[in-house]
Amino acid sequence: MGHAENKQSWRTSCTELLISVATPGCNGFPNLESKENYKLNISRDSMLLYADAVWGALRGLETFSQLVGRDENGMYYINETEIVDFPRFPHRGLLLDTSRHYLPLKAILETLDVMAYNKLNVFHWHIVDDPSFPYESFTFPELSKQGAFSAMTHVYTASDVQTVIEYARLRGIRVIAEFDTPGHTLSWGPGAPGLLTPCYLGKDPSGTYGPINPIFNSTYQFVTSLFQEISSVFPDYFIHLGGDEVDFTCWKSNPDILVFMKKMGFGEDYTKLESYYIQRLLDIVSSLGKGYMVWQEVFDNGVKVRPDTIIHVWKNNLPYAEEMANVTKAGYRALLSAPWYLNRISYGQDWMAAYQVEPLKFTGSTKQKDLVIGGEACMWGEYVDVTNLTPRLWPRAGAVAERLWSNATVRNLQDAYVRLADFRCELLRRGVQAEPLFTGYCDHEFGGF
């Protein structure tokens, strides 16, 4: 008391976080090579966030926001700390399915917010599929007019799509659109007559349709025009082309296809027909200057794919570790989703199983392991729409997010539980309808105080 104090009190008022980004520029889009590393230095004298690129600054800001606490008097505080952080895998994604159920724009945008809180950086937009075609195409407006659940209300306009892409970009999230073909395309049929294969019952068309018809030139003209549009609408280098679960029954029933099979010398092997289609599709997309991601069947069926193709491993029939080994052994980059189908709910703390996955636990060389670029948590939409999306996604997807960002050694379940439970309460405080991990409480309850 009374004499001049030169030393600072233990509690100095910290009012600004200085951010320094080595490579300036906020106008670009994030990509697979984007640098997300950052350093955070919190001390009495200063609070500094340093990043190579703006994407790292975003990650660092999120960390910073999680370090700020509030005491019982309402005072915000932060502990002194030094953090050097960077992601383990560059592709850390979340798949949403807007075909099995339409998801309102607001739900997608909120999901992007929470993805950013979890440092997830790829939004895999499985935008169309069998049940509905909500994507409003300017080249083929009939696709959504005839194929959406309701053309006025259950569609994504060009403006909606741009909104999503920009909202994502501002959070360092890439948007990879998936237009899955040749299977999973029933909703494409009504708006594109002649596109799908008519199935036959004996000698006559049965009235039902199957996968895209691979034998007509018109098919490839359509595909070229559509993907020309998709390539221009979605700025990311990669497009996901699907290629999964192609059912051959319809093709086998169609007389024109049988003729084609003979002409091409495919015999009875319909995987050859499938590959024929996929090959042409891949060439078309390549010529548009895009790279592609495909579901694992494309690789499993021996289709010739470009060296920079990313194979998306999703099946659990073989142990997926074996598939990861096979894909990387063949020199392709791999993305893991098989153990992370969050739509497959079950009773209890299933986040733990997701957390304990080790993406690199497969037999292979270091070179092979380097080809694993990350993974994606998938929220398929058969039983999911806006009424249950958020609680079903969070905080469970957080377990996947940490597995993909943090070091392989970060795997203590008890510690993860404490942090994830806290994080869940933080999500509630931020207004996110994240469900509980187990019994307990948060100071802020949803819809309460």
Partner 1 sequence: TFSQLVHEDDYGSVKNNVWKAVKKLRSISCLFAHRGILLDTSRHYLPLKSILTNLDAMAFNKFNVLHWHIVDDQSFPYQSVSFPELSNKGAYSYNHVYTPTDVRLVIEYARLRGIRVIPEFDTPGHTQSWGKGQKDLLTPCYSGEQPSGSFGPVNPILNSTYDFMATLFKEISSVFPDAYIHLGGDEVSFNCWESNPEVKDFMKKQGFGIDYAKLESYYVQKILDIVSSYNKGYVVWQEVFDNNAELKPDTVVEVWMANNYAHELSRVTRAGYTAILAAPWYLDYISYGQDWTKYYRVEPLNFPGSEKQKRLLIGGEACLWGEYVDATNLTPRLWPRASAVGERLWSSKNVTNLQDAYRRLSNHRCRMLR
Interface positions with partner 1 (CB under 8 A)? 343-349, 383, 387-388, 390-392, 428, 433-441, 443, 445-449
Sign of CA dihedral 263, 264, 265, 268: negative
Of 170 and 345, which CB lies nearer to partner 1 in the complex structure?
345
Pairwise CA distance, residues 261 & 347, whole Å: 48
Question: How far is C-alpha 170 from the geometric centre of its chain's CA atoms?
Answer: 16
For the record, the structure tokens of 171 come out as 């959070």
Q: Which of 245, 322, 358, 445 is catalytic?
A: 245
Euclidean distance between CA atoms 138 and 148, whole angstroms? 15
Q: Which is nearer to partner 1, 16 or 443 (CB)?
A: 443
Q: Nearest to residue 386, comparing CAs of 110, 91, 183, 145?
A: 110
Smallest separation, CB 421 to partner 1 (Å): 12
Distance CA 219, CA 282 (A): 14
Nearest in space to 20 (alpha carbons), one of 38, 1, 42: 38
- 5 is a catalytic site residue: no
Q: 206 near 200, Cβ under 8 Å?
A: yes
Shortest distance (Å) from residue 95 CB to partner 1 = 16
Residue 267: CB minimum distance to partner 1, A: 38
CB atoms within 10 A of CB 40: 21
CB 445, min distance to partner 1, A: 6
Q: Is the peptide bond before 134 cis (omega within 30 degrees of 0)?
A: no
- CA–CA gap between residue 274 and residue 298 (Å, rounded): 9
Residues 285, 239: Cα–Cα separation, whole Å: 8
The minimum distance between CB 428 and partner 1, in angstroms, equals 7
Give the residue numbers annotated as catalytic, written as ranges. 245
